[in-house]
Amino acid sequence: MQPILAGVTIRSFLHDSVGLSPTWAAALAAFLHAFILINTFAVLPLVFIWAERKISGRIQDRLGPTRVGGRFGWLQGLADGLKLIQKEDLVPAAADGMLFRMAPYLACMAAFTAFMVLPFSDGWVAFESDIALFLLFGILSLEVLGIVLAGYSSGSKWALFGGMREAAQMVSYEIPLAIGALVPVVAVGTLSLVEIGRMQAGWIWNWLVFTNPFVFLAAIVYFTAATASCKRAPFDLAEAESELVAGFHTEYSGMRWSFFFMAEYAAMFLVSGVASILFLGAWHTGIGPLDAALESARISGRAADSFYWPGWLANLFGAAVFMTKGSLLVCVQIWIRWTLPRLRIDQVMMTCLKYLLPMTCVLFLGAVLWPLAMTQLTGRTQLFTTPFGERIHPPTDADETALRDASPAAPESGAGSAPADTTSSLVIGHWSLDIGDSPPPPPPPPPAHLAQEGGFQ
């Protein structure tokens, strides 16, 4: 587990190629990681707000922004940001000042911190972890604390009602969201987002969404729950524009008001990026020869002791593919918002608890039983492909040497040797299940007091 960026760590690049000392190289690498993530987090909402206005304009047969930034109005989001900076930052007299000011920052930082474990390409991640998916959902769930504090501290009953509705919605939809994300995890056997992305190299049918029907249906359920957890229409009754108030952020103005929307649009890309990794091939194009060439360049870059340009360019191309997939899914969320009517709050909760939650439980159970059923019917765990671990990551010579050194020496065959173990192993993702005939285990030794008293003959 190591942080990687641009094929090799930034720290190694600064130390080996630039000539900085290890201390300065580590400090500058940390600063560059933070700088890249902060700018990504800040720029994405500007782009998606512009996209939402243009897409909604086309859906409603109007033009959308056309004045600022040329005929396409691409600077409209920046102009709105400058306008919000100049607005007066008001705090109601009845509000709890400290909590009122802290709430938007808490919601914003929860969405920002989750980007820490999101890989944009093979190794382009601020912090690579074996439990990255668990950390991401755990950090993202903290956003609801900012929502609750915003409604509670505003000193307004309308904001309090909106905050409670939004909190109930977000907490409820996190359950089918997490279970839907576990369905592809069962197929690959790892919570590492980098490993899940690597396992989908090759042709498009190697993407997890085509692994089995349960993963395909889980992708639809996950995207539905993700749309609701991001407080997007048709699940945004608590802050509907058609209502008299805006929900939990009714009393906010200026930049603090904009922080809630920055967190919302950043979370939209975050859950869309996770969907791209879990279901849609991550940074892979789905074109076999092209992905093979790019993967070869990335492997050479990881093996190189110095900065390796082909590997860096391969990762840059992979990051562009990943961001394109995530942006398209964000556009689908925008499309849904301006197409479907809003649900009542009871319908919002019923959709989660009565439909999505049982569906995800059934899909999870089906994903667990699918490899066993395929083994009985076809003799393999996948219908069209071999198991992911065997297809993408065959054991290397170093792995075999380490395994041989770690395993105890087998007894030589002979008259007094133990019978050979005929157990075969069924590989399911990264798990193995022993099947077939095997010698029975030896009986346990009798307890000492029974053996002395003659209790066992």
Say how far apart CA 360 and CA 357 lie, in whole Å: 5
Q: How many residues does the chain have?
A: 457
Long-range residue pairs from 332-336, CB within 8 A, at least 24 positions apart, any chain? 332/223, 333/227, 333/230, 333/232, 333/268, 333/272, 334/48, 334/51, 334/52, 334/55, 334/56, 335/55, 335/59, 336/227, 336/232, 336/233, 336/234
Helices (H), 280-383: 288-303, 309-337, 345-350, 357-378
Residue in 382, 412, 197 with CA at minimum distance from that of residue 283: 197
Residue 453: the pLDDT is: 46
Say how far apart CA 102 and CA 330 lie, in whole Å: 28
Contact (CB, 8 A) for 105 and 153: no
Which residue's entry shows tokens 């749309």?
A: 227
Burial group, residue 380, by CB count within 10 angstroms (0-12, 13-18, 19+): middle
Say how far apart CA 4 and CA 12 lie, in whole Å: 10
The residues with which 431 forms a beta bridge, in sequence order, are 428
Averaged pLDDT in 10-residue chunks for the chain of 457 residues: 46 74 80 82 90 93 90 89 90 94 94 92 86 94 94 92 90 95 92 93 92 94 94 80 75 92 93 96 94 90 72 90 96 94 89 95 94 81 52 47 50 44 40 44 56 44
Say how far apart CA 357 and CA 177 lie, in whole Å: 9
* Amino acid making up residue 305: D
What pLDDT digit, counting tens, does each position of 389-448 carry?
Answer: 444 444 445 445 544 555 544 444 444 444 444 443 434 344 444 444 444 556 666 555
Residue 149: the pLDDT is: 95
Residue 1: the pLDDT is: 39
Residue 193: the pLDDT is: 94
Say how far apart CA 117 and CA 109 lie, in whole Å: 14
| Residue 80 parent element (H or E) | helix 76-86
Residue 218: the pLDDT is: 96
Residue 127: the pLDDT is: 83
Contact (CB, 8 A) for 129 and 94: no
Contact (CB, 8 A) for 312 and 209: no
| Residue 425 parent element (H or E) | strand 424-428
Q: What is the widest separation between alpha-carbon atoms in the chain?
A: 98
Tokens of 61: 């047969």
Residue 197: the pLDDT is: 94
Residue 182: the pLDDT is: 94
Which residue's entry shows tokens 């972890």?
A: 129
Q: What is the DSSP letter of 325?
A: H
Say how far apart CA 375 and CA 188 lie, in whole Å: 16
DSSP-assigned states of every residue in 141-182: TTHHHHHHHHHHHT--HHHHHHHHHHHHHHHHHHHHHHHHHH
Say how far apart CA 405 and CA 399 lie, in whole Å: 10
Q: Which residues contact 174 (CB under 8 A, 6 or more apart)?
A: 137, 141, 225, 229
